[in-house]
Structure 1
Amino acid sequence: MNKKQILLIDDDHELAELLVDYLAQQGFIVQCCFDGQSGLELAYKSKFDLILLDVMMPKLNGFEVLKALGSEYKTPILMLTAKGDNNDKVRGLELGADDYLAKPFHHQELLARIHAILRRINIVTQQNQQALHGENSTLTVNNIELNHATRIVTCHTNPIMLTGTEYQILTILMEHHGQIIAKDTLSKQVLSRKLAPFDRSIDVHVSNIRRKFDPYCAIEKIKTVRGAGYLFLTGESS
């Protein structure tokens, strides 16, 4: 079994040394960059299974790296943010990060987040394989189509670029269209953790999906049900 490749972009040399040793013991191979510019260049040059991205760094900060990578970059990204800085967390998610973890963190919590993200990627891979064999290859509801074979999402035939996390959230909502899905359910199924108080991760991911739909959808697709969760509206199914 091939070891998973992780890119760590963080200017904290001491932390990087500790994480390289710890994650190696857990079966990962970690490459390090200590500024945003070199991290961005390596992210483009080599293929990784996951990127751990710090916010405050020289040359390019984490947000600038996210912007430069753009929405078409497929490797999942876990942001490392300052403890209690909710603005950094929200901004990172809005720019395409899959999840965040506040510093200082326990090494076991980091490992749990890594495994959760990789499980999501594995689920998408399984969906792709099933679709290639003609099993549930497409899902179409209210003029939104998911193609699991290509992981392409279209809105009124217009392609929409989603992150892996956004794709999984949309899949769950569409599979249960017409039903209210609780935020905690989405958090457990997609992020592999219970929804903590004041955790806006799911809200931000759903907001990102809506924003990407907006140029092509004249009517609402995902409705917020206050105090309950989210509802994908059935509309006209095809």
Structure 2
Amino acid sequence: MGGGKRVREKILIVDDEDTILEFLRINLEKNGFTVVAAGDGKEALRLARQEQPRCILLDVMLPGLDGFEVLRELRKTMDVPVIMLTAKGDDIDKILGLELGADDYVTKPFNPRELVARIKAILRRVEKTAANSEEGVITVGDLTLDLERHRVEVRGRVVDLTPKEFELLELLMANPGKVFSRDALLSQVWGYDYFGDTKTVDVHIRRLREKIEVDPSSPVNIITVWGVGYKFRERDDV
């Protein structure tokens, strides 16, 4: 009688420093996760395919294949969430990681409680996004995007969006909390062969805010991440 045991989510940690691997393992296991670890890029790719983790913590600086090369290979066949571990203040690493498909980044030295919170937030986001995708409707707060009817409602009122505005909003709403660089948005919405620049993204973001925000000058849905790009607010954010 009674329910079964809660399945422990599996996390793959990739770092070439044994002390960091052990530190992360202890903290993640203490928070109910199962941990597998890799010390280099090739081992990371092998374990990712073999173990099918729910989330990967991936250090940028690795011997042989670096973190960016590992991420590039992962994204060819897997959409598992990836959190990059970067050096403090290295914005170039953050932006490049996001452009290659990372879901988030944490700078070293990091607070283990913050890291665990980010992992849990990403896993919640993945579950909710999967559920929304099955229904064909994405709802965050008072904003609803209907994929099949190609319609957006704000506080019950239908708003008219251009095709590109709809695509941009769909991408952001389907990944609440995920930070996208301007280049990543440009390539995913406009395509890699688009010859415009990132100002195109800023213009469309501004127009979207004018249509969906109560106060476009102080947006609560589409948030600017200074020095990086944009993200859509988490579902639980006020």
Match of 1:169 among 163, 167, 172: 172
Matched residue SS, 1:40: helix
Matched residue SS, 1:224: helix
Match of 1:231 among 188, 200, 208: 208
Q: 1:62 to 1:218 in 2, by over 3 A?
A: closer
Q: 1:136 to 1:36 in 2, by over 3 A?
A: same
The number of equivalent residue pairs is 187
The amino acid that maps onto 1:214 is: G
Q: Where in structure 1 do 4 or more consecutive aligned residues deviate above 3 Å?
A: 141-146, 215-220
Match of 2:34 among 29, 38, 44: 29
What is the CA distance between 1:43 and its match in structure 2?
1.1
Q: 1:138 to 1:107 in 2, by over 3 A?
A: same
Contact 2:86 2:108 in 1 (8 A): yes
* Fraction of identical pairs, as percent: 34
Matched residue SS, 1:190: coil
Counterparts of 1:124-203 in structure 2 under 5 Å? 124-131=129-136, 136=146, 138=148, 140=150, 142-143=162-163, 169-171=172-174, 189-191=176-178, 201-202=179-180
The amino acid that maps onto 1:138 is: E
Q: 1:219 to 1:102 in 2, by over 3 A?
A: closer
Match of 2:22 among 17, 24, 38: 17
Task: Tell me the distance in 2 between the aligned counterparts of 1:208 and 1:28.
Answer: 31
Q: 1:171 to 1:70 in 2, by over 3 A?
A: closer
- In structure 2, the residue matched to 1:85 is 90
Relative to the length of structure 1, the TM-score reads 0.66
Gaps of 5+ in 2: 1-5, 138-144, 151-160, 212-238
Matched residue SS, 2:177: helix
Task: Tell me the distance in 1 between the aligned counterparts of 2:107 and 2:30.
Answer: 22
Q: CA RMSD in A?
A: 3.6
Task: Tell me the distance in 2 between the aligned counterparts of 1:53 and 1:27.
Answer: 20
Match of 1:208 among 153, 174, 184: 184
Q: 1:229 to 1:80 in 2, by over 3 A?
A: farther
Q: 1:4 to 1:145 in 2, by over 3 A?
A: farther
Contact 1:223 1:230 in 2 (8 A): no
Q: 1:142 to 1:71 in 2, by over 3 A?
A: farther
The amino acid that maps onto 1:54 is: D
- In structure 2, the residue matched to 1:45 is 50
Task: Using CA pairs under 8 Å that are at least 6 residues apart, name the structure with larger relative contact order, 1 or 2.
Answer: 1
Task: Tell me the distance in 1 between the aligned counterparts of 2:121 and 2:91.
Answer: 21
- In structure 1, the residue matched to 2:99 is 94
Task: Tell me the distance in 2 between the aligned counterparts of 1:232 and 1:72.
Answer: 34
- In structure 2, the residue matched to 1:54 is 59
Deviates most, 95-104 or 70-79: 70-79
Matched residue SS, 2:23: helix
For the pair shown, which has the larger CA radius of gyration, 1 or 2?
Answer: 2
Task: Tell me the distance in 2 between the aligned counterparts of 1:57 and 1:218.
Answer: 34
Match of 2:127 among 110, 122, 125: 122
Task: Tell me the distance in 2 between the aligned counterparts of 1:229 and 1:118.
Answer: 30
Task: Tell me the distance in 2 between the aligned counterparts of 1:143 and 1:10.
Answer: 42
Matched residue SS, 1:27: coil
Task: Tell me the distance in 2 between the aligned counterparts of 1:72 and 1:139.
Answer: 30
Relative to the length of structure 2, the TM-score reads 0.66
Contact 1:130 1:137 in 2 (8 A): no
What is the CA distance between 1:217 and its match in structure 2?
7.4
Task: Tell me the distance in 2 between the aligned counterparts of 1:103 and 1:218.
Answer: 36
Gaps of 5+ in 1: 147-152, 156-165, 173-188, 192-200
